[in-house]
Amino acid sequence: MLYYLFDYLDRVLDVPGTGVFRYITFRSGLAIILSLLISTVFGKKIINFLRRQQIGETVRELGLEGQSQKAGTPTMGGLIIIISTLIPVLLLARLDNVYVMLLIVTTLWMGTIGFIDDYIKIFKKDKEGLKGKFKVFGQVGLGLFVGYVLYFHPGVTVRTDTAKINIYDTTQNVISPVGVEEKSTATTIPFFKNNEFDYAELLSWAGDNYKDYAWLIFIPIVIFIITAVSNGANLTDGIDGLAAGTSAIAVLTLGIFAFVSGNIIFSNYLNIMYIPNSGEMTVYITAFVGALIGFLWYNTYPATVFMGDTGSLTIGGIIAVLAIAVRKELLIPVLCGIFLAENLSVVLQVSYFKYTKKKYGEGRRIFLMSPLHHHYQKKGYHESKIVTRFWIVAILLAIFSLVSLKLR
94-143 pLDDT, tens digit per residue, is 999 999 999 999 999 999 999 999 999 888 888 788 898 999 999 999 99
Q: Which three-class secondary structure string do you get for 318-342?
A: HHHHHHHHCCCHHHHHHHCHHHHHH
| Whole-number pLDDT of residue 67 | 60
Taken in order 132, 137, 140, 142, the sign of the CA dihedral is negative
DSSP 44-99: HHHHHHHHHTT-B--------TT-GGGTT-B--THHHHHHHHHHHHHHHS-TT-HH
DSSP labels, 166-194: EEEETTTTEEEE-S--B---EEE-TT-TT
Residues of the chain above pLDDT 90, percent: 65
Q: What is the pLDDT of residue 351?
A: 94
Residue 262 burial (CB count, 10 A): 21
pLDDT (tens digit per residue) in 24-57? 999 999 999 999 999 999 999 999 998 888 776 6
Phi, psi of 382 (to 5 degrees): -70, 150
369: enclosing H helix or E strand = none
Q: pLDDT value at position 244?
A: 95
Q: Distance between CA atoms of 397 and 392, rounded to whole angstroms?
A: 9
pLDDT band at 66, cuts 50/70/90? Answer: low
Question: Which residues fall in the annotated binding site for Mg(2+)?
Answer: 234, 309
Instruction: Look at residue 260 in the predicted model and tell me its pLDDT.
Output: 94
pLDDT 10s digits, 303-312: 999 999 999 9
What are the backbone angles phi and psi of residue 72, rounded to the nearest 5°?
A: 95, -10
pLDDT attached to residue 287: 97
Alpha helices (H) in 124-241, listed in sequence order: 132-152, 162-165, 215-236
Count of CB atoms situated within 10 Å of the CB of 367: 17
pLDDT of residue 271: 84
pLDDT at 71 over 90: no
Pairing of strands 196-198, 186-188: antiparallel
Q: Mean of the pLDDT values across residues 245-268?
A: 94
The C-alpha atoms of residue 307 and residue 299 are separated, in whole angstroms, by 8
d(CA 74, CA 27): 33
At 8 the pLDDT is 81
Helix (H) or strand (E) holding 196: strand 196-198
Confidence grade of residue 12 (pLDDT, cut at 50, 70, 90): confident
Instruction: For the chain, give every domain's residue range.
Output: 27-333
Per the CB < 8 A criterion, the answer to whether 246 and 236 are in contact is yes
Q: Which has the closest alpha carbon to 188: 240, 140, 139, 260? A: 260
Going by the annotation, the residues of the binding site are 234, 309
pLDDT of 170: 41
**What per-residue confidence (pLDDT) applies to 57?**
65
SS3 (DSSP) at 262 = coil
